[in-house]
Structure 1
Amino acid sequence: MNQSPATRLEVGGNAIAVRHQPGSPPGLVWLGGYRSDMMGTKAVALAEWAAARGRAMTRHDYSGHGESGGAFTDGTISRWLEESLAVFRHFTEGPQILVGSSMGAWIALRMVQELNRAGEGDRVGGLLLLAPAPDFTKELMEPELTDAHRHDLERQGFIEEPSEYSDEPNIYTKKLFDDGRRNLVLEGIIDTHCPVHIIQGMADPDVPYAHAMRLVEHLPADDVTLSLVRDGDHRLSRPQDIEMILRVAEALVERAA
């Protein structure tokens, strides 16, 4: 599809890049993963699907990601949450389906909590969570930290790990770990007050499918569907994965309409 230049929204001193397609609600709001951007396969496929149906679609890059300003190493869950809420409130109207991929699912769950707290919970018509990684710093990373990792976090404030998806290593800062503990969602009941559909690959090397099953246990009050893709990886970007994602997105939009 023809990609127009991104709009900029100033949030917390950073210029956040946003691509908003006007259309009728319920719309889609894309929330990407750690070090990903809004031009990835899944985000673009959803944008094309929404455009073909006259649905609104909003996506943005967190600070330090993609086309947005700011330093990646300054990023935290709280900062990226603040940016995501600002984009949501500035660009969208009516009910929206939050589509969170990996870390973006953590952001989506925190957005629901903050919107409910602010009396805006009816703005979320549904959640589509792809390979969700809520609380990944505490639950998935901290148990794997070596003594050398912990030493580096204390001494230099960050650790580097090879990335399967980039030539550049992944950087995880001490402030990311510390801030992550202030945003944990797997500590009690998560009331989303909307339908939730989770798609999780069983061959995901980054987020074990047991993590998605644990998330379901924290969503007892809501209509939750968990779809396990036996040979699905973390990206969930194969044609058959995209087809499933679009099918679920359409069902959630129809329910929220």
Structure 2
Amino acid sequence: MQMTPAETETTFIEVGKDAARRRIAMKILRTQKPSDRPALVWLGGYRSDMTGTKAIEVERLARDRATDCIRFDYSGHGASGGAFKDGTISRWLEESLAVVEHAAPRQRLILIGSSMGGWIALRLIQELRLRGLSERIAGLVLIAPAPDFTAELIEPNLTEIEQRSLAERGYFEEPSEYSPEPNIYTRALIEDGRDNRVLVGTITTGCPVHILQGMRDPDVPYTHALKLMEHLPADDVVMTLIRDGDHRLSREEDIAKMKQAIGNMLPLA
């Protein structure tokens, strides 16, 4: 794989008010010349940050295709402020909207959502459509998308010990395959997740959608991606099932598929 491009400067915005105020870190790549091409917006997964392999490769693609790129960390993630335990889908969605409004107030957008970021992307589109801004979305690329994962994948599989921990402590922990620190799921996250469900009716994005899903994903089964596709009947949806793909989809061949999917949504020079 190529060398990492020169580091993009980190900037910050403040989101929220009073006790809920938090500092959100962003890396915004601007083209040297003004462009009417859609900006690429990276929406990371649960406990991921904007310095991961896929996020960096999205920026590299933006450089190659002379378009803008927006990466950022949700509160409680990476370089952003705020406590992780305070995180909810609503809170992270608020930050995503604030970043887009700050960094690309008039540009069209291609959203790239990984895992939980796929859920955030779908909710972001819903919010923009409610504001009469549906034309802002030029494309949507979802990588191992996990919409409604709290209600669909966590709640049905809670053990008695985890249920007791949620009731008594307000959270439970489980080992992580990707970090020595355990994953933490709070009661607030789960309850808020119910209010942000998208797999409850027809989802209309109004843009081309490409879903990349590994069939050996231990965290989000590929049947979940198939279920999501059923809720997108009005959109032009392409799904790529990667037979030996895991949840991260960060191998060189996976990255190539991601960049091709994004590139297909960018106009030619």
With the length of structure 2 as denominator, give the TM-score of the two structures: 0.93
What is the match of residue 68 of structure 1? 80
**Structure 2 residue aligned with 1:112, among 119, 125, 136?**
125
What is the match of residue 6 of structure 2? 2
Matched, 1:146 2:159: yes
What is the match of residue 57 of structure 1? 69
- 1:2 deviates by 1.5
Partners of 1:187 and 1:52 in 2: CA distance: 38
Q: Deviation string for 1:60-99 (max 9, x for gaps)?
A: 0000000000000000000000000110111013211000
**Structure 1 residue aligned with 2:101, among 77, 83, 89?**
89
Matched, 1:20 2:28: yes
**Structure 1 residue aligned with 2:115, among 102, 114, 117?**
102
Aligned positions, number: 256
What is the match of residue 57 of structure 2? 45
Q: Residue type of the partner of 1:48?
A: R
Do the aligned residues in 2 keep the contact of 1:31 with 1:104 (CA within 8 Å)? Answer: yes
Percent of pairs with identical residues: 58
Structure 1 alignment gaps of length 5 or more: none
- Where 1:89 maps in the other structure, the secondary structure is helix
User: 1:167-186 residue pairs with structure 2 within 5 A?
Assistant: 167-186=180-199
What is the match of residue 259 of structure 2? 246
Q: Residue type of the partner of 1:57?
A: C
Q: Residue type of the partner of 1:217?
A: E
- 1:254 deviates by 2.5
What is the match of residue 165 of structure 1? 178
Partners of 2:74 and 2:10 in 1: CA distance: 13
Partners of 2:10 and 2:82 in 1: CA distance: 16
Matched, 1:11 2:15: yes
Partners of 2:138 and 2:25 in 1: CA distance: 24
List structure 1 runs of 4+ shifted beyond 2 angstroms. Answer: none
Q: Residue type of the partner of 2:152?
A: E
Q: Residue type of the partner of 1:249?
A: I
Partners of 1:83 and 1:189 in 2: CA distance: 25
Q: Deviation string for 1:152-177 (max 9, x for gaps)?
A: 00100000000000000000000000
